Structure 1
């Protein structure tokens, strides 16, 4: 996949091409322009994952692919719709699979920057879901980027019909989040090399 850092995207909804999925892909695209290679686990892949069951050691191909990508990741971008004040079950189920890394040398998202994206029908849902997502990232030992992207789909139209970002503030936030992810990754690599 190349020599650049690996950034894994997780997010979307049951609807292919949702604004949540497209926003994660946009941040990953900016990361690629900054030298990363990326892998995306979008709504279709997340929908195919069985419910996480810690008592069941057998994993599907999709579950194994997600866990292996997470093991090799230098950073993450996670996007979720705001459903009833929190992260969607679809996205949370995928995140819960990272429990399979609990005995690894690097557990969960330890030391990795994690960009957060929330799209919801209202500012309250956007804000509380972004806060919930940050708490989840902290519990997985990840470093949430200072900028989280919250999109109120009632008043903001992020994309045109071709999928290009048309809202300048969202485009700026996407670019800044990618920069923050990549700067953290580079700093982490420099600190490890200095040891």
Structure 2
């Protein structure tokens, strides 16, 4: 399967991006193709009618999402919601990009956990006809630390992420095989 991960932070070396890269690593360990679309590196214009859809970075995002069999959406939690750059990116995408695809929601929060942004992501996914994974990933506080190999330093966090990714792979595989 091909899985696109959209890392929704606008900071270099953000814990959200590190989490996305670690999830991609786990997906690759399971034999899947994983592409991290980092919104810090791929800066999009503000969503609006007109020529923005022809913008090179919007086209890259659209291709990455459209060609994926499943998606991972990762965001920092800002003021109890998702980041503006991720919301802006998702506004360029619609049901053509998510319809009947498994979607895993993940976040990195300043506190211990951040469920509000995950709930917001799941609402957006439902509205674009994606299939929410019943598991989600939230890391916060010291759980946001990664070692030089890109792995979480906290063993419990690493195990929790692995379990969520395995659940996501299971759902994505079932949906992918049922549409084949």
Asked if 1:190 is matched to 2:174, the reply is no
Gap change, CA 1:27 and 1:84, over 3 Å in 2: same
Aligned to 1:15: 11
Alignment of 1:1-80 (within 5 A): 5-46=1-42, 48-56=43-51, 58-80=53-75
SS of 2:97's equivalent in the other structure is: coil
Instruction: Report the Cα offset of residue 57 of structure 1.
Output: 5.7
Q: Aligned residue pairs: how many?
A: 180
Match of residue 122, structure 1, among 111, 130, 133: 111
- For the pair shown, which has the larger CA radius of gyration, 1 or 2? 1
Partner of 2:131: 143
Contact map agreement 1:49 1:94 (CA 8 A) in 2: yes
Q: Distance between the aligned counterparts of 1:44 and 1:157, measured in 2?
A: 18
CA distances 1:129-187 after superposition (whole Å, capped 9, x unpaired): 1111111111111122121111122x534313553311122211221222222212221
The TM-score normalised by the length of structure 1 is 0.84
Contact 1:147 1:173 in 2 (8 A): no
Q: Any stretches of 5+ residues in structure 1 without a counterpart?
A: none
Cα pair 2:3 2:34 within 8 Å, conserved: yes
CA RMSD of aligned residues (A): 1.9
- Identify unmatched segments of 5+ residues in structure 2: none
How far does residue 39 in structure 1 lie from its aligned partner after superposition? Answer: 1.3
Deviation at 1:14, TM superposition (A): 2.0
